[in-house]
Amino acid sequence: MAKQEDIFKNVVSHAKEYGYIFPSSEIYDGLSAVYDYAQNGVELKKNIREYWWKSMVQMHENIVGIDASIFMHPTTWKASGHVDAFNDPLIDNKDSKKRYRADVLIEDYCEKLWQKAQKEIEKARGRFGESFDEEQFIATNGRVVEYLSKKKEILERMAHGLETGDLADVKLLIEELGIADPETGSKNWTDVRQFNLMFGTKLGASADTAMDLYLRPETAQGIFVNFLNVQKTGRMKIPFGIAQTGKAFRNEIVARQFIFRMREFEQMEMQFFVKPGEEMKYYEYWKETRLKWHLSLGLGKENYRFHDHEKLAHYANAASDIEFNFPFGFKELEGIHSRTDFDLKAHEQFSGKKLQFFDNETNSSYVPYVVETSVGLDRMFLSVFSKALQEETLEDGSTRTVLKLPAVLAPTKAAVLPLVKKDGLPDVAREIIEDLKWDFNVAYDEKDAVGRRYRRQDALGTPFCITVDHQTLEDKTVTIRHRDTMQQDRVAISELRNIINDEVSMRNWLMKM
C-alpha cells in the first residue's frame, strides 16, 4: 500500500499535470500557500459551489442567498471579537527556527492516541467477528479506555489554557507530553504567544486620511450585518437562513498541506436564525443534514466523522466539526456552530441599531440565536479530488490512473473521440458536440490511439467517452464508455443526452440525500 505522503504528493502533482491547480505566480517561484485554480479546477470548484448552493438555497424555501463585500466597515471586526480574539497560539522551535501552532501540535498528539485506540478496536473486531460489540469494547477494554481518557484529559487541559489565557500551561503541556518538532525532533521550544490572523489593509488615497480595514476572515459577518435588510425585504419568518459563498483571508501561522490551509480561501456559509432556546434542536438538525450532503457524494461513509469541540470559539455554545479522512489523516472539513445571539447582539451594541425579529404571535421582539454551517470550498475540493484519485490494477495486470470524481462534479462530462481522423468521423464527432454542448461541458479529442485517449480522459475524471467509428456512419450509433467500470455500450446518438443526464444531473444527486 502506498504511504500517506506518497499519496498526497501524487494528489498535488496530478492536480498540476491535469490542469486542476497551479502554484500562484509560478514564474516567480510561487507564493507560499497561495494557489490558482486551472482550467479543470475552476470547473470542479464551480460545480461543488453549485451543488452546495442548490442543496442549501434552492432546496430550502426558508433559506436565501446574498453576496456581501469582502471589505466591511472596520467596526464590524471589533464587534465580532476578531480584533481582540481571533488569535492562534504560536510556538517556535529554537533549534529548527520552525513555527507551529501550539494547539495543532497537541491535537496531532491526541490523534495518535485515537489511532492507537482504533487499532485495538480493529484487532478485536477481527477476533470476535460478527458478535463484536464495538460500544461495549470501547467502554470496557483497558487500553482503549486509557488512550481515549488520556486524549480527553489533554484536550480539556489545552482548552482551559487557551480559554483562560494560561499559555504557560499550554507550553508545559507540550513539554510534559514530550512533543518534538515534527521535522527535526528537537524539544527546545519558545513560550507560546497569541497571533492575530487578520490581514490589514488601507482604504483611501492619502496616508493621513486612509482608513484601516481588514480583509474579511470569514464570510459570516457579511450575513449578520445584513440580517435585518434580508429579513424585512424578504419578509422572512423565523426560523430562516441566509447563505453566501465567497473569499476569506487569514494570515495563517502554518499554511502547509496544499489547499487544505491557505491564506486566501473560499467559504460556503449559512447562518440559520432561530428562536432563543431552540438552537440545540437546529444544531442537531444541521449536523445531520450537512453530513448527509457530504455522504451523497459517495466518497465513503468511513471517511467522515464528527469531532465535538472541547475548546469553543468566543461566540459559540456548542460546536462540532465534520472531519474528513484526507491523505494526511482525519481533519476538519466543515464546522457546525451554535453561535448564540453573540454576533447580532454585538452588532446592535457597536452600531446602535436594533437587529431584532418582531414575532407577530407573541407581539414581542427578540434577538435571534444562530446556528451556522461553514465549509471551506477548497477543502471540499481537496476531499473530493484526493479520494477520487486512484491507481487501479486491471485484469490484464496493467495499471491505470483514474480520477473517479462524482459525475455530478466532474469538469467535463463527456469526451467525443473519432476513432480515426478521416472518413468523415471527425465531422460526426463535431456534430455530436454541437448538440451536447448546450447541456454539458464536452471535449473533443482525436490525438493518439483510442486506448490512450481513454486513459487520458480517465486521469482527467471525465465520466463518459463517446467513440465515433465507421458503424456510426451506417446506423447513427456510437459506443459510450463508462469511466469507472470501463464498460462500453453501443447506443443511438439520439440517446446520448439522456444517458449522460441521468448520471450527472444535480437533481438526481440531490434526490439521493
Among 332, 445, 458, 503, binds ligand GAP (CB under 6 A): 332
Task: Tell me, by CB under 6 A, how many residues bind ligand GAP.
Answer: 19
Cell numbers standing for residue 400: 491505470
State whether the Cα torsion 349-355-360-366 is positive or negative: negative
Cell numbers standing for residue 494: 439520439
Compute the residue count for the chain: 513
Whole-number minimum distance, CB 228 to ligand GAP, in Å? 19
Cell numbers standing for residue 74: 472596520
Cell numbers standing for residue 70: 469582502
Cβ proximity to ligand GAP: between 169 and 252 the closer is 252
Among 262, 344, 417, 478, binds ligand GAP (CB under 6 A): 262
Whether the Cβ atoms of residue 368 and residue 276 lie closer than 8 Å to each other:
yes
* 340 contact partners, CB below 8 Å, separation of at least 6: 279, 315, 316, 317, 369, 370
Pseudo-torsion of CA 29, 33, 39, 40, nearest 10°? 130
| Residue 265 binds to ligand GAP (criterion: CB under 6 A) | yes
Of 259-267, 299-307, 415-423, 473-481, the segment contacting ligand GAP by CB under 6 A is: 259-267
Cβ proximity to ligand GAP: between 379 and 456 the closer is 379
How far apart, in whole angstroms, are the C-alpha atoms of residue 213 and residue 254? 23
| Residue 269 binds to ligand GAP (criterion: CB under 6 A) | yes
Q: Considering only residues 193 through 232, tell me which ones interact with ligand GAP, judged by CB under 6 A.
A: 218, 220
DSSP state of 199: P
| Residue 323 binds to ligand GAP (criterion: CB under 6 A) | no
Whole-number minimum distance, CB 221 to ligand GAP, in Å? 8
| Residue 343 binds to ligand GAP (criterion: CB under 6 A) | no
Of 150-158, 258-266, 399-407, 495-503, the segment contacting ligand GAP by CB under 6 A is: 258-266
Q: Considering only residues 20 through 39, tell me which ones interact with ligand GAP, judged by CB under 6 A.
A: none
Whole-number minimum distance, CB 480 to ligand GAP, in Å? 36
Whole-number minimum distance, CB 201 to ligand GAP, in Å? 18
Cβ proximity to ligand GAP: between 387 and 483 the closer is 387
Contact mark string toward ligand GAP, 376..395, x via CB under 6 A: x-xx----------------
Exposure string over 43-76, b if 16+ CB within 10 A, otherwise e = bbbebbbebbbebbbeeeeebbbeebeeebeeeb
* 419 contact partners, CB below 8 Å, separation of at least 6: 425, 450, 467, 468, 469, 470
Of 236-244, 374-382, 385-393, 422-430, the segment contacting ligand GAP by CB under 6 A is: 374-382
Neighbours of 186 (CB within 10 A): 13
Contact mark string toward ligand GAP, 292..321, x via CB under 6 A: ------------------------------
Q: Which helix (H) or strand (E) holds 510?
A: helix 506-511
Binding site for ligand GAP (CB under 6 A): 218, 220, 250, 252, 261-262, 265, 267, 269, 332-335, 372, 374-376, 378-379
